[in-house]
Amino acid sequence: MSALLSETIDDSTVALWNHDLQPQSAAERTRWVLEEFRGHAVLSTSFGVQAAVMLHLVTRIDPQIPVVFIDTGYLFPETYQFAQTLAERLELNLKIYNPVVTAARQEALYGKLWEQGVEGLEKYGRLNKVEPMNRALRELGARVWMTGLRRDHASTREELPVLKRQNRVLKVHPIVDWSDRHVYEYLKEHDLPYHPLWEQGYVSVGDTHSTTRFADGMRPEDTRFSGLKRECGLHEQSGEPEYMI
């Protein structure tokens, strides 16, 4: 598996890489990507429930990789505290991006978008997640975007491959085939913490208004966006970006 940075990466190349990477371990996948695209990869994190896994896995191979954190302004206090703790412990090269339109201005102009059905949620996602992430990718010169998405997170991710083109950026999911058990064992082995709200019954943590505790009869994906959506726009094909890899 090899490609020059000057080459255009087409779907057939991505398919070949997926074939080769699928049987490999998460660490092997991560190492290959970081060597192949040295200096052109970023890692995104929401500092969610199991965020410490990817942060540790990737930065022990490349301690200087830019770690993009989208701060919507609507996060739980515990999330900000968790982010600070992990950033200091793992010595992250943290890059914090905020929406161009502030939370106060958004609410004044559009009201509470998260209370306006799917259309409102999609607009909220574009303003608060998609635009800042695309700006980060452009400014950091990223051709590869690494994330901690897993197939068992939601029905929308059941067919997720290790590598995927999202428009013109290569998305990489090193732990895509991990289970919650794999995550638990990794966190335990490396003495890494879950998000503090995990102990309060949260299985997924995002913005305060779009996150609820897990309850009997719910699917984990039902705890986000009142079950209306699973994806915030970042991991949908419509989430841009439009520049070449």
Query: Phi, psi (5° rounding) for residue 42?
Result: -130, 155
Q: How many CA atoms lie within 13 A of 234 on its CB side?
A: 23
Which of 143, 185, 177 minimizes the C-alpha distance to 160? 177
State how beta strands 66-70 and 41-45 pair.
parallel
Those residues of the chain that have pLDDT short of 50 are 1-7, 231, 237-245
pLDDT at residue 2, rounded to an integer: 39
Residue 148, Cβ neighbours under 10 Å: how many? Answer: 25
Residues 6 or more apart from 128 whose CB is under 8 A from it? 70, 72, 73, 74, 99, 106, 207
The CATH class that applies to domain 11-239 reads alpha beta
Residues 6 or more apart from 203 whose CB is under 8 A from it? 49, 214, 220, 223
Q: Which residue has the tokens 């398919």?
A: 15
pLDDT at residue 242, rounded to an integer: 41
Which of 220, 163, 210 minimizes the C-alpha distance to 33? 163
Active-site residue set = 232
d(CA 229, CA 117): 10
Identity of the residue numbered 58: V
Print burial letters for 101-127: b (CB count within 10 Å at least 16), e (below 16).
Answer: eeeeebeeeeeebbeeeeebbbbbbbb
pLDDT at residue 155, rounded to an integer: 67
pLDDT at residue 1, rounded to an integer: 41
pLDDT at residue 222, rounded to an integer: 65
pLDDT at residue 227, rounded to an integer: 57
For the chain, give the percent of residues with pLDDT over 70. 82
* Whole-structure pTM value: 0.87
pLDDT at residue 221, rounded to an integer: 65
- Could you tell me the two tokens for 199? 């102990």
The domain locations on the chain are: 11-239
pLDDT at residue 54, rounded to an integer: 98
User: Model confidence over 104-158: pLDDT tens digits?
Assistant: 999 999 999 999 998 999 999 999 999 999 999 999 999 999 999 998 876 667 8
> Can you list the alpha helix ranges (DSSP code H) found in 126-179?
131-139
